[in-house]
Amino acid sequence: MKHFLSFEDFSREEILEIIDISRKIKAELLNDVKIPHLAGKVLAMIFEKSSTRTRVSFETGFYQLGGHPIFLSSRDIQLGRGEPIRDTAKVISSMSNMIMIRTFGHDRIEELAKYSAVPVINGLTDLCHPVQVLADYLTILEEGFENPIISYVGDGNNMTNSLIMFSAKMGFEIRIATPKNYEPNNIILEKAKKIAEISGSKIYLFNSPEEAVKNSDVVITDTWISMGMEDEKEQRIRDFKNYIVDDNLMTLTNKKSIFLHCLPAYRGYEVSESVIDGEKSRIYNEAENRLHAQKGLMVWLNKNLKI
């Protein structure tokens, strides 16, 4: 049985299998072909962090696949009142076929997976956000970039960590531009570099956004102030003031480049209004692809229960 906690545990071939299923399922939906791939199945969705896209995409997606999703807020279940994760994992996995959790520390999802009898999906942790990167890659492929040069500008957060590991696995070139002291997780970075030696991936870290985006195909950013960092807001705004993705920065990229943002976005901070609402922006395609990519992931996990 496979869990989907990070890209570290997945091969390039497995990632491509998931994306291939996602593309086929998206085509089915667009052609009004209804195939209940997960008929009779139950998805337990645990939310310790609030969400728009994660909840709507997983709930809608599992329903469209013929299954029944259950929304479980931490305010509504005993996990939010101090029940041990192992107890929650054993109970919920005895009554469902798959668990998705959106939480804080990555150790929480690792413990949940350890004691779960069914596949666990990372809907987001403070360390990684792999389902978002699956949607990003589906969007990138739809734009015709088979071997993209990806640039990320901003905070070295969970999105950055997942993009680095994903690119290392896929053999892509990834360029990260962050201010000093905001670099991505060093443990993930070192693991990715070892993988890159085999895959041919190139991983670059910059402090200059201009250097990072030069001739790149895809520019990605994220909010500077993630959930739980509100008390750092003023300091972060000062530290990231030169890291806004604006028209001047985008002129340095490939002429056919696209802009991605996992949302929610704060116009005028990490990205200018003219870029996020401009012709290079694919943020709404990207958001919709959360639905299709995650459906592909869930079908793949269901098919590989015996691994």
Calculate the CA 296 to chain-centre distance.
Answer: 14
* Active-site residue, 136 included: no
Active site residue 9: no
Q: List the catalytic residue out of 55, 106, 132, 136.
A: 132
Predicted local confidence at residue 232, as pLDDT: 85
Place of tokens 């694919």: 282
Residue by residue, pLDDT tens for the chain (307 residues) are 999 999 999 999 999 999 999 999 999 999 999 999 999 999 999 999 989 999 999 999 999 999 999 999 988 898 888 899 999 999 999 999 999 999 999 999 999 999 999 999 999 999 999 999 999 999 999 999 999 999 999 999 999 999 999 999 999 999 999 999 999 999 999 999 999 999 999 999 999 999 999 999 999 999 998 766 778 889 999 999 999 999 999 999 999 999 999 999 999 999 999 999 999 999 999 999 999 999 999 999 999 986 5
132 flagged as catalytic: yes
As assigned by CATH, the class of the 144-281 domain is alpha beta
CATH fold, domain 7-128+290-303, is Rossmann fold (3.40.50)
pLDDT score at 230:
74
Topology match between the domains 7-128+290-303 and 144-281: yes
Q: What is the DSSP string of 197-258?
A: HHH--EEEEES-HHHHHTT-SEEEE--SS-TT-GGGHHHHHHHTTT--B-HHHHTTS-TT-E
Determine which one of 126, 136, 155, 222 is catalytic: 222
Domain boundaries, the chain: 7-128+290-303, 144-281
222 assigned to active site: yes
pLDDT for position 229: 72
pTM: 0.96
